[in-house]
């Protein structure tokens, strides 16, 4: 699963939300920004604790936050 483009944009614009997730995941806000840029399938931003915070802050459901991962083209 990956974050939807809508959620990526919300997180890019909301430093307080990025900071709250960083505290929960015990990392820096800069790391959260890097993860947003990478948006790796099943990355740390798709963990239950991060999804809970995103949902609480945005009112979005997990179905609105996540999208199916696209297979990597080789």
> Cβ distance 36 to 17 under 8 Å?
no
Q: pLDDT tens across 2-31, in order? A: 999 999 999 999 999 999 999 999 999 999
d(CA 70, CA 54) in angstroms, rounded, equals 22
Identify the band that residue 70 occupies on the pLDDT scale cut at 50, 70 and 90. low
Match 């297979």 to its residue by tokens: 71
The secondary element (H helix, E strand) that includes residue 66 is strand 66-67
Query: DSSP 3-state assignment of 68?
Result: coil
CA dihedral of residues 39, 66, 6, 71 (deg, nearest 10): 50
Residue 33's pLDDT is 96
């Amino acid at each position: 699963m990956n974050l939807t483009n809508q959620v990526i944009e919300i997180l890019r614009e909301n430093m307080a939300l990025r900071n709250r997730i960083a505290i929960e995941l015990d990392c820096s806000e800069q790391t959260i920004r890097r993860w947003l840029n990478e948006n790796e399938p099943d990355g740390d931003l798709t963990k239950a604790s991060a999804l809970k915070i995103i949902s609480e802050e945005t009112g979005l459901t997990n179905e609105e936050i996540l999208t199916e991962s696209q297979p990597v083209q080789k």
